[in-house]
């Protein structure tokens, strides 16, 4: 790992950007109908349970990344294989989010630009920033978080003053009962809240390790509240029917703003906010894959950065044939076939092994 440190506010900013990511614009928890905001709240509670699994693992080995203490817990060879599985997962997650970014940018603004061109240019910038190191990511996040908050507050006020908000669209509560909510909650716990697992690769960079728990939970609560608010706002403005069929509901919501026939066409605010959040989400997934490879294969970061970027470009383009297939895979296949294994089974198994081993050591 590079010799770098992040402050608590820098780590919080990165975590908030990461958690919002693509969840900012997609139809999150749409399966819960009008109660989508409540499903997000319950999913956030599930994310808190996952947090304690990851945090207790981190507390066992606070100076090591996940790929490091996986070998300590599971043994040299099995731990190495587990680390490799997570490196592949981080690359896959980076590719999925990069595809989200390319498709939204092409659909909203760069309509005549090939997705491949958008992805290549974005990744070149990303590789340059990652080459500069994690401290550069932290410092820029500390600045851009102020811009994101300003955009969010301003856009929310403009939507309310535009007169399109109808809170009756959110009523009645539990109109369809508990079943659709409970079916949606597991996928929300995994995405976006379970994806916080990636920060087990970055917590050793925190300059005040004792603040890790406070920073992580603060970022989780803040992002959960923001996502609940955005989802409720989308339903209140668009109505349930339009929200369910919209590819990017937040873009449609902001597009309704028209004050005095002067303040309108604010789609660019959403696109810029999405650009910021996705930049940090993709960079964290990609950076975690890089430092995982550095740890497992004993290489230098600059040796694998560009080759890994090339692999990421190829993976992004072949991950699905079109955007509809990409979204369906992300909503129906990935949460249960991949996230259950990656976010719960392996971390929980490692935690149990580490706990039992430490008790035997104390007994001896």
pLDDT in the model for residue 335: 60
Residue 363 lies in a domain: no
Residue 83 lies in a domain: yes
Q: What are the tokens at 293?
A: 């490879």
Residue 359 lies in a domain: no
pLDDT in the model for residue 243: 82
Q: Dihedrals φ, ψ of 84, to 5°?
A: -65, -40
Range of the domain at 321: 8-353
pLDDT in the model for residue 321: 65
pLDDT in the model for residue 29: 80
Nearest Cα neighbor of 25 from 234, 292, 330 is: 234
Q: What are the tokens at 294?
A: 């550095």
pLDDT in the model for residue 324: 64
pLDDT in the model for residue 334: 65
pLDDT in the model for residue 322: 65
pLDDT in the model for residue 331: 61
pLDDT in the model for residue 170: 87
Residue 2 lies in a domain: no
Question: CA-CA-CA-CA torsion for 131, 12, 14, 17, nearest 10 degrees?
Answer: -170
Q: Are 42 and 243 in contact (CB under 8 A)?
A: no
Residue 265 lies in a domain: yes
**Which domain CATH number covers 159?**
1.20.1740.10
Q: How far apart are the first and last CA of the chain?
A: 33
Q: Are 84 and 70 in contact (CB under 8 A)?
A: no
Give 311's strand partners.
none
pLDDT below 70 — which residues of the chain? 1-2, 260-262, 321-336
Q: How far apart are CA 266 and CA 263, in angstroms?
A: 8
Residue 358 lies in a domain: no
Residue 361 lies in a domain: no
pLDDT in the model for residue 111: 81
Query: What are the pLDDT digits (tens) for 130-157?
Result: 988 899 999 999 999 999 999 889 888 8
Residue 231 lies in a domain: yes
Q: How many domains does the chain have?
A: 1
Long-range pairs of 233-238 with CB within 8 A, sequence gap ≥ 24: 233/156, 233/159, 233/165, 235/34, 235/36, 235/37, 235/169, 235/170, 236/165, 236/166, 236/167, 236/169, 236/170, 237/159, 237/164, 237/165, 237/166, 237/169, 238/169
């Amino acid at each position: 790992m590079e010799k770098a440190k992040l402050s608590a506010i820098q780590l919080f900013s990165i975590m908030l950007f990461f958690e919002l990511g693509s969840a900012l614009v997609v139809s999150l928890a749409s399966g819960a109908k009008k109660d989508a905001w409540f499903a997000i709240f319950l999913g956030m509670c599930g994310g808190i349970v996952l947090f304690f699994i990851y945090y207790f693992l981190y507390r066992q080995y606070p100076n090591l990344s996940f790929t490091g203490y996986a070998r300590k817990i599971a043994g040299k060879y099995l731990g190495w294989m587990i680390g490799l599985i997570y490196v592949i997962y981080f690359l896959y997650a980076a590719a999925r989010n990069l595809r989200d970014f390319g498709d939204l940018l092409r659909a909203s603004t760069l309509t005549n630009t090939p997705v491949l061109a958008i992805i290549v240019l974005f990744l070149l910038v990303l590789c340059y920033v990652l080459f500069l190191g994690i401290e550069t990511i932290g410092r820029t996040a500390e600045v851009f978080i102020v811009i994101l908050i300003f955009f969010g507050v301003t856009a929310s006020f403009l939507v309310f003053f535009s007169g399109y908000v109808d809170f009756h669209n959110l009523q009645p509560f539990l109109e369809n009962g508990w079943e659709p909510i409970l079916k949606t909650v597991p996928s929300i716990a995994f995405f976006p809240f379970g994806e916080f697992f990636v920060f087990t690769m970055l917590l050793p960079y925190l300059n005040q390790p004792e603040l890790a728990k406070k920073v992580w939970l603060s970022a989780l609560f803040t992002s959960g509240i923001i996502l609940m608010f955005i989802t409720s706002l989308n339903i209140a403005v668009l109505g349930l029917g339009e929200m369910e069929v919209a590819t990017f509901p937040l873009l449609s919501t902001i597009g309704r703003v028209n004050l005095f026939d002067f303040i309108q066409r604010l789609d660019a605010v959403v696109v810029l906010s999405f650009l910021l959040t996705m930049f940090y989400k993709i960079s964290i997934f990609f950076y975690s894959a890089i430092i995982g490879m550095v740890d497992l294969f004993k290489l230098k970061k600059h040796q694998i950065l560009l080759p890994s970027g090339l692999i990421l470009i190829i993976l992004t383009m072949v991950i699905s044939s079109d955007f509809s297939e990409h979204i369906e895979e992300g909503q129906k296949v990935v949460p249960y076939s991949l996230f259950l294994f990656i976010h719960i089974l392996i971390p929980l198994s490692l935690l149990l092994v580490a706990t039992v081993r430490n008790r035997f050591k104390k007994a001896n």
